[in-house]
Structure 1
Amino acid sequence: MSISTKQMPGIIEGCKANRRPEQEALYKFFYADMLKLCYRYLSADELAYEALNTGFLKVYQNIKYYNEHKGELGAWIHSIMVHACIDLARKEARFNNVANTFDVIDEVFVEPSVLEKLYVDDVLLAIRTLPAATQLVFNLAVIDGYSHHDISEQLNISESTSRWHLSAAKKQLRELLQPSNNQVNKPTEKSNKAT
């Protein structure tokens, strides 16, 4: 759906007044991008849709607090969706605090020559195969740029546990994305939903 910058203030005001046409317009405008985000965080389609719907409900309930002078609407909605995904993923994920001694992988975890041959869908599909807790930490750290300190506060885990999950994610993704692995050759129908 195409909404011009001139129409957006009216849609926001309509949502603040709890009018269904404006809520529907806002939903349709942000639906695809927010669904991609939910797919990135949650490995099951049902959970992604649940997070999407929960996130939009929170958007409608809290849009009266949105202030366009503090930031762009898309970024505000993105933040709400990330938190909806975190809340749902936290219920699904099993975090075990790990000792401070673990191997942290600092080198590039996938060779550049391998990356050149991959589709975005391949990478997203590989991320969705990670265990829920590891996937959540990977998305927060690598995709959304949260620090281990922030992740530990969001998920109520230690920073070392966050680092361990990120290291484990990199190791598992490296194994999944190697050219000798036939799991990631072409995007699948399921992975195309996330694009």
Structure 2
Amino acid sequence: MENLKEILAGCKRKERQSQEKLYRQFYPVLFALCKNFFEDKHDVVTAINNGMMKVFKNLHQYDAAKGEFFNWMYTTVRNAALTLLRDKKTQTFEYEEITESMYFEANENPFTELEYHDIEVYLNQLPIATRRICGLFYLDGFSVKEITESLAIKEGTVKWHLSESRNRLKIIFEKSL
């Protein structure tokens, strides 16, 4: 397999074979990322494709001195998934608006001791809306405020989903012991 620098150089020259190699190389991890946002496989693939189109279009903006290519690409695809999520008119779920009186406590991250595959198994047991918010907060490091802005929902709703994810994951973790 060609090294990443050679593939990226080909992508900058707009070579289709290099673009395909890059896409195929990172498809599994990007699929897992976008699966956190969408249940329908078509939506997952659409988010990946939208994100990779942005990667190819903006590859000249990537600066290796600022960080790893994977992190830049992952963030680009994640943002494309969030954009698609916001733009979808007919969502299969509804965020239930929560009042401020609901309790949320941001204790330690429940995923710190788990391997990625285990995290995916546990997250898939959560309802889609809760899974999205939980993944953005605990895995991607978004703040509550950033999540509210990205998903265009109220802060109380985000806090409720985070509390709900902790409660559900606690039960799931206890059952698996």
- State the TM-score, normalized to the length of structure 1: 0.73
Unaligned 5+ residue runs, structure 1?
186-195
Q: Tell whether 2:53 aligns with 1:57.
A: yes
What is the aligned partner in structure 1 of residue 10 from structure 2? 14
Judged with a 3 Å threshold, the aligned counterparts in structure 2 of structure 1 residues 128 and 28 are, in CA distance, closer, same or farther, namely same
1:29-55 residue CA offsets vs partner (Å, 9 max, x unmatched): 222222222223333333322222222
Looking at structure 2, the residues matched to 42 and 172 of structure 1 have their Cα atoms a distance apart, in angstroms, of: 20
What is the aligned partner in structure 2 of residue 96 from structure 1? 96
Deviation at 1:108, TM superposition (A): 6.6
What is the aligned partner in structure 2 of residue 71 from structure 1? 67
What is the aligned partner in structure 2 of residue 188 from structure 1? none
In structure 1, what residue type is equivalent to 2:170? R
What is the aligned partner in structure 1 of residue 140 from structure 2? 144
Deviation at 1:120, TM superposition (A): 5.4
Percent identity reads: 29
CA contact (8 A) 1:11 1:22 kept: yes
Aligned ranges 1:1-195 → 2 under 5 Å: 2-4=1-3, 8=5, 10-90=6-86, 91=88, 92=91, 93-106=93-106, 121-179=117-175
For the residue of structure 2 that corresponds to 1:54, the secondary structure is: helix
Unaligned 5+ residue runs, structure 2?
none
CA contact (8 A) 1:89 1:133 kept: no
1:61-95 residue CA offsets vs partner (Å, 9 max, x unmatched): 22132222332211110001111222334433522
Q: Which is bigger in relative contact order (C-alpha 8 A, separation at least 6)? A: 1
Q: CA RMSD in A?
A: 2.8
- State the TM-score, normalized to the length of structure 2: 0.79
